[in-house]
Amino acid sequence: MGTRQLELEVMRYDPEKDEAPHFQTYSVPCNEDWVILDAINYVKDNIDTTLAYRWSCHMMVCGSCGMMVNGEPVLTCKTFVRDLPDKVRIEPLENFPIERDLVVVLDDVMQKLHQVQPYIVRKDDPPEDAEYKQTRGQLMKFKQLTMCINCMCCYAACPQYGLNKDFIGPAALALAHRYNLDNRDQGKSDRLDILADHNGVWECSFVGACSEVCPKHVDPAAAIQQMKVDGAVEFWKQRLGIPGDKS
């Protein structure tokens, strides 16, 4: 197996010493079949133990190793060394405050995910001694949206979130849509207040970057456009006094 020397330009920021982030270069002997996360782990293990970053599973499940690699928000466990040039620039995810080095502050999106009520809301009692029924067709309406692992690459790609931090943003809106489309859910009207408000779906201008960078092919941009269609229809239904959806 061939090795290749990679120049990693890593953004560093120490809140206790640095006024602003700066780049530090590490020369890393990489195996061709390594992913960028392996190269970063090599730095941590062999060159510089002070480097701070998040990772856990190394297999595209946990969603914690999202970073900017050559300007693109990616999961570093999914980004192969063989697909990259000899010089690689690694930065913390765009649009988030930097906690330290490659670690970003996620408080804002965590609060937003919570805000859209991402769980099944019921207005009636659950069926007795039975589960809620769902056909395969009903599941297929939203299955793609359940793939989100909250890596927040979509927020790093979204210029509207970068420009306006009040925007609810791609992952949280997609998650809201996932529950709106679930036949077991009755919370659509509860979510409408937040989703159809100024900082909800209307702040999206369909740049589409969120869907292009999503490592799990969730397609938040599609979900948001569908919610705009919903919102526009609901608006007229309300004005014309036509009863809304089931919920």
Partner 1 sequence: MAIAKKAIVWGLFAAGGTLTSFILPALIGLFLLVATGNVPENLQFEQFHAFAASWLGKACLFVVLFLSVWHAAHRLRVVVHDFGIRKDALVANAVYTVAAVGTVLAAFYLLAIS
Partner 2 sequence: MSRRPYVREMSKTTWYMRNGRYRVYVLRELSSFLVAFYTFLVIYALSVLAAGSAVQWNSFLASQQGVGMIIFHGLALLYFLFYQTFPWFKLAPKAMPIQVGENKVADSKIIGAHYVAWIVVTAFIFWLAGVI
Residues forming contacts to partner 2 in the complex (CB under 8 A) are 13, 15-16, 18, 20-21, 71-72, 94-95, 97-99, 105, 135-137, 140-141, 157, 159, 162-163, 205-209, 211-212, 219, 221-222, 225-226, 228-229
* Residue selected from 66, 92, 187, 200 as contacting partner 1 according to rule CB under 8 A: 200
Among 166, 229, 242, 246, binds partner 1 (CB under 8 A): 229
Q: Are strands 103-104 and 98-100 parallel, antiparallel or unpaired?
A: antiparallel
What distances in angstroms separate CA 173 from CA 126, 193, 216, 231, 239, one per listed residue?
26, 13, 16, 13, 24
**CB neighbours of residue 151 within 10 Å:** 26
Residue 193 interacts with which of partner 2, partner 1, none, CB < 5 to 8 Å by class:
partner 1
d(CA 155, CA 139): 26
Q: Residue from 22, 87, 123, 198 that binds partner 1 (CB under 8 A)?
A: 198
The count of other CB atoms within 10 Å of the CB of residue 149 is 19
**How many Cβ atoms sit within 10 Å of the Cβ of residue 209?**
20
- Of residues 72 and 190, the one with the C-beta less far from partner 2: 72
Query: Smallest distance from the beta carbon of 106 to partner 2, in angstroms?
Result: 11
Q: Looking at 39-47, 55-63, 106-114, 232-240, which segment touches partner 1 (CB under 8 A)?
A: 232-240
What gap in Å lies between CA 27 and CA 8, rounded to an integer? 6
CA angle 186, 188, 193 (to 5 degrees): 140
Question: Collapsing DSSP states into helix, strand and coil, what is residue 85?
Answer: coil
- The β-bridge relationship of strands 87-91 and 3-12 is parallel
Nearer to partner 2, 13 or 55 (CB): 13
In the complex, the smallest distance separating the C-beta of residue 58 from partner 2, rounded to whole angstroms, is 27
Answer whether 125's CB lies under 8 Å from 46's CB.
no
Minimum CB separation of residue 185 from partner 1 in Å reads 17
Q: Which is nearer to partner 2, 93 or 175 (CB)?
A: 93
Q: Which of 38, 197, 212, 226 binds partner 1 (CB under 8 A)?
A: 197
Cβ proximity of 91 and 104 under 8 Å = no
Tell me the closest approach of the beta carbon of residue 50 to partner 1, in angstroms.
Answer: 38
Give the residues lining the site for partner 1 (CB under 8 A).
189, 192-193, 196-198, 200, 202, 205, 228-229, 231-232, 234-236, 238
